[in-house]
């Protein structure tokens, strides 16, 4: 799954705590775990940490370019291998849940 915002706190650590709410939302974590996501890549947290994970064990990687440059290995990219086993949940279920969360967020819940 590719996101702009972080779904877990671990990958925004290193940023000023006052801006944590603007860098991500833990509300993304439940659908990630529920629908069989294998890996999450996100940007936006330029001074964050490179790696984290959801409570369900899905790996989360911060791939913002400034953070990657600060890792010191000289690579402005990450390579993530994903297995070929069947993911849980359908794409339709994931789309419905995403639409519900967007609608709920727009309503200010």
Reply yes or no on whether the pLDDT at 31 is more than 70. yes
pTM of the model: 0.75
Tell me the pLDDT tens digit for each residue of 62-108: 999 998 888 877 778 888 887 765 555 566 776 777 677 667 767 76
Residue 28 buriedness (CB in 10 A; 0-12 / 13-18 / 19+): buried
Beta strands in 1-109 (DSSP E): 2-3, 40-42, 51-53, 59-62
Question: How many whole angstroms separate alpha carbon 10 and alpha carbon 35?
Answer: 21
The answer to whether 35 and 54 have CB atoms below 8 angstroms apart is no
Q: Which of 46-50, 54-58, 69-73 is the least confident region?
A: 69-73
The gap from C-alpha 33 to its chain's centroid, in whole angstroms, comes to: 11
CA angle at residue 94 from 63 to 34, to 5 degrees?
Answer: 80
Lowest-pLDDT choice from 10-14, 49-53, 86-90: 86-90
Instruction: For residues 64 and 75, give the distance between their C-alpha atoms in angstroms, rounded to a whole number.
Output: 12
Domain ranges of the chain: 2-106
């Amino acid at each position: 799954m590719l996101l702009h915002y972080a779904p877990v706190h671990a990958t925004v650590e290193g940023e000023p705590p006052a801006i944590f709410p603007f860098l991500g939302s833990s509300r993304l974590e439940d659908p990630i775990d529920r629908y069989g996501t294998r890996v999450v890549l996100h940007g936006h947290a330029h001074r964050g940490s490179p790696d984290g994970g959801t409570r369900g064990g899905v790996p989360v990687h911060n791939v913002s370019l400034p953070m990657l440059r600060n890792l010191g290995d000289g690579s402005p990219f990450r390579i993530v291998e994903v297995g070929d086993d069947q993911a849980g949940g359908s794409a339709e279920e994931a789309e419905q849940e995403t639409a519900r969360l967007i609608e709920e967020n727009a309503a200010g819940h």
